[in-house]
Amino acid sequence: MSETTVEAVGVPRARQMLELAGWASRAYARYDSATVQRIAEAVVRVAESKAEHYADWAVRETGFGVVEHKIVKNKLCSRGILDAYRDSDYVSPRIHAERKIVEVPRPAGVILALTPSTNPVSTVYFKVLLALLTRNAIVVSPHPFAKECCADAARELGKAAVAAGAPDGVVQVVDEPSIPLIDALMTDERTNVILATGGVPVVRAAYGSGNPAIGVGPGNVPVLVDATADLHRAATKLVDSKAFDNSILCTNESVLVVEESVADRFIRELERSGAYLLKDEERDRVRDVVFPEGRFDTSLVGKDASDIAARAQVRTPSRTRILLAPFDAAVDEEPLAHEKLCPVLGLVRVPNAQRGIRTAVALLRLGGAGHSAVIHSTDPGTVMAYAAAVRVLRVAVNEGGSTGCAGFGTNLAPSMTIGTGFVGRSSLGENLEPKHLVNWTQVAYSTDPAEVMPSFVGIHPEEAPLEPVPPYPVASNAGAPTLTAVPDLPEEVPTELREELRRLILEELTAIVRG
């Protein structure tokens, strides 16, 4: 007798979501490019129109971040994404005549998307849209802190997709996420790829699931400002970036490393943009508040600078957007040298750019390997030296880190999932983009010159759906003529008419059977 495994509440139904997603992904994988674009456009329209609604809801539900910045992110992750990939085609076969290879797209299938509490709805938007552009089905499992806004958003996007012709079940969401439930979904063989955005444990669990996974590591972004930088512009960019959604993006600057010769001028520029330089005893109190017992207090994620200052009993000017916390050495035991998802920016002065690069390298040794770095400099030699030295996979130059490294304001792929590569224990080294969710079957002809690859122009495996998917089941004789039209009979049918009807029915039936 085999034992039956008792599963946690909600798990069996969540597994069924994967099953339905499997059906949907199979159907969707046959869709043509025009229909996919139409679906994506319809979804983006809804996402865009609800950007404010969900920004407000997310802040209300999580207590993290700034509504107006979340609106921006929601728009970037809807219309922004669609615009970015408008000319990309992940649907049609690619013909490489010179290489005698044809590539046929093969979508991943069922994507399990774990979304964070920090960038909740924007990440839902982002992952859903990426899935739809690549003809995948997606099951979203939101962070428990943001489950309501995320579930509602995912459902709305799913409805819009289906209304535009996408297969039913192409976007689904788990309402009550829990550890056993997420574990069950991650290890389920119906999950084709896991997109894990969240804390380190979630990402490690995704990689340990036995299923293909794309998860990324945490950041700890150094920003080097050398003597050649345009200080005014750099200060504006840096403060805007650090204040953006109160530093909730993992690409936000963590520690400013500034060359001594320009440090005071640069700090004055920062102050003009809304930074407040903490005095040493204020810095100590802020450190104790942000890192009680040396560990980051996650309740401060995305909180306003003024709230954090108030908690540390620091009086700040009313227009303060970020707090500058000076310290001397980028070493492990200095809490301020670690990642801070709140508008507190560490500050280290260095004698020259060379020391600045060493300091940035040291910061990345503490955390954030493979993630992001920023430099403000006009010297390409310094930029190259910096980029070659810091163990990250993207360096934003003369741009804010929060948005720049995430592909907004630079030409990196716009993304809510920043690959940290092998050095950051990730399978992904770039910003996550649609291409990562499709494989290509390569149809390869012989290199023998005698073998000529025929033309594949106009040969398409994909097609536009002609009816809702799946079609609503109707009886297979539904097209047969109806002789008994009206269910309620106004009066009894005379005998002769009944005979006539009987004859007609028989004739029709005989015709149907013969035909």
Give catalytic residue positions.
250
Which CB, 108 or 325, lies closer to other proteins? 108
Q: Rounded to whole angstroms, how far apart are CA atoms 158 and 136?
A: 13
Q: How far is the CB of 54 from other proteins (least distance, A)?
A: 23
Write the CB contacts of 459 (distance below 8 Å, at least 6 apart in sequence).
93
Which CB, 15 or 100, lies closer to other proteins? 15
Q: Which two tokens stand for residue 507?
A: 């004739």
Which CB, 110 or 390, lies closer to other proteins? 110
Give the helix/strand (H/E) hosting 82. Answer: helix 81-84
Residues 470-499 that bind other proteins (CB under 8 A): 470-478, 480-489, 492-493, 498
Which CB, 20 or 300, lies closer to other proteins? 20
How would you class 380 by CB atoms within 10 Å of its CB: exposed for 0-12, middle for 13-18, buried for 19 or more? exposed
Residue choice 49, 88, 502, 504 for contact with other proteins (CB under 8 A):
502
Nearest to 141 by CA among 172, 99, 109: 172
Which CB, 28 or 266, lies closer to other proteins? 28
Q: How far is the CB of 468 from other proteins (least distance, A)?
A: 9
513 is a contact residue toward other proteins (CB under 8 A): yes
Largest CA distance in the chain: 110
Q: How far is the CB of 472 from other proteins (least distance, A)?
A: 6
Which CB, 457 or 486, lies closer to other proteins? 486
Which CB, 192 or 377, lies closer to other proteins? 192
Q: How far is the CB of 480 from other proteins (least distance, A)?
A: 6
Give the helix/strand (H/E) hosting 101. Answer: strand 101-107
Residue 373 CA to its chain's centroid (Å): 20
Q: Rounded to whole angstroms, how far apart are CA atoms 306 and 458?
A: 62
Residue 148 CA to its chain's centroid (Å): 17
Q: What is the DSSP letter of 303?
A: -
Residue choice 65, 120, 142, 169 for contact with other proteins (CB under 8 A):
169
Question: Are the C-beta atoms of residues 493 and 501 closer than 8 Å to each other?
Answer: yes
Which CB, 12 or 380, lies closer to other proteins? 12
Q: Rounded to whole angstroms, how far apart are CA atoms 21 and 10?
A: 17
Sheet holding 193-196, edge to edge: 171-173, 137-142, 110-115, 193-196, 213-215
Q: Rounded to whole angstroms, how far apart are CA atoms 127 and 339?
A: 25
Question: Are the C-beta atoms of residues 257 and 238 closer than 8 Å to each other?
Answer: no
Q: Rounded to whole angstroms, how far apart are CA atoms 134 and 29?
A: 8
Q: How far is the CB of 323 from other proteins (least distance, A)?
A: 49
466 is a contact residue toward other proteins (CB under 8 A): no
Q: How far is the CB of 423 from other proteins (least distance, A)?
A: 39
Q: How far is the CB of 16 from other proteins (least distance, A)?
A: 5
Question: Are the C-beta atoms of residues 58 and 151 closer than 8 Å to each other?
Answer: no
Interface region with other proteins, contact rule CB under 8 A, candidates 127-135, 264-272, 298-306, 500-508 = 500-508
Question: Are the C-beta atoms of residues 257 and 389 closer than 8 Å to each other?
Answer: no
Q: How far is the CB of 169 from other proteins (least distance, A)?
A: 5
Per-residue interface string for the shown chain with other proteins, residues 10-49, x marking contact by CB under 8 A: --xx--xx-xx-xxx-xx----------------------
Question: Which residue in the block uniquely carries the two structure tokens 């390409």?
Answer: 380
Q: How far is the CB of 176 from other proteins (least distance, A)?
A: 15
Q: How far is the CB of 190 from other proteins (least distance, A)?
A: 9
Which CB, 388 or 485, lies closer to other proteins? 485
Nearest to 73 by CA among 97, 98, 47: 47
Number of residues that bind other proteins (CB under 8 A): 49
Residue choice 48, 168, 230, 297 for contact with other proteins (CB under 8 A):
168
Backbone conformation region of residue 401, classed left if phi is above 0, alpha if psi is from -120 to 50, else beta? alpha
Question: Are the C-beta atoms of residues 84 and 413 closer than 8 Å to each other?
Answer: yes
Interface region with other proteins, contact rule CB under 8 A, candidates 72-80, 167-175, 321-329, 379-387 = 167-175
Interface region with other proteins, contact rule CB under 8 A, candidates 71-79, 115-123, 299-307, 464-472 = 464-472
How would you class 168 by CB atoms within 10 Å of its CB: exposed for 0-12, middle for 13-18, buried for 19 or more? middle
In the chain, % helix, strand, coil (3-state, to 5) comes to 45, 15, 40
Q: Which two tokens stand for residue 45?
A: 């329209």
Q: Rounded to whole angstroms, how far apart are CA atoms 426 and 423?
A: 7
Which CB, 180 or 481, lies closer to other proteins? 481
Interface region with other proteins, contact rule CB under 8 A, candidates 5-13, 71-79, 211-219, 273-281 = 5-13
457 is a contact residue toward other proteins (CB under 8 A): no
Amino acid at 136: N
Residue 473 CA to its chain's centroid (Å): 36
| Interface contacts to other proteins, rule CB under 8 A | 1, 4-7, 12-13, 16-17, 19-20, 22-24, 26-27, 168-169, 172, 470-478, 480-489, 492-493, 498, 501-502, 505-506, 509-510, 513-514
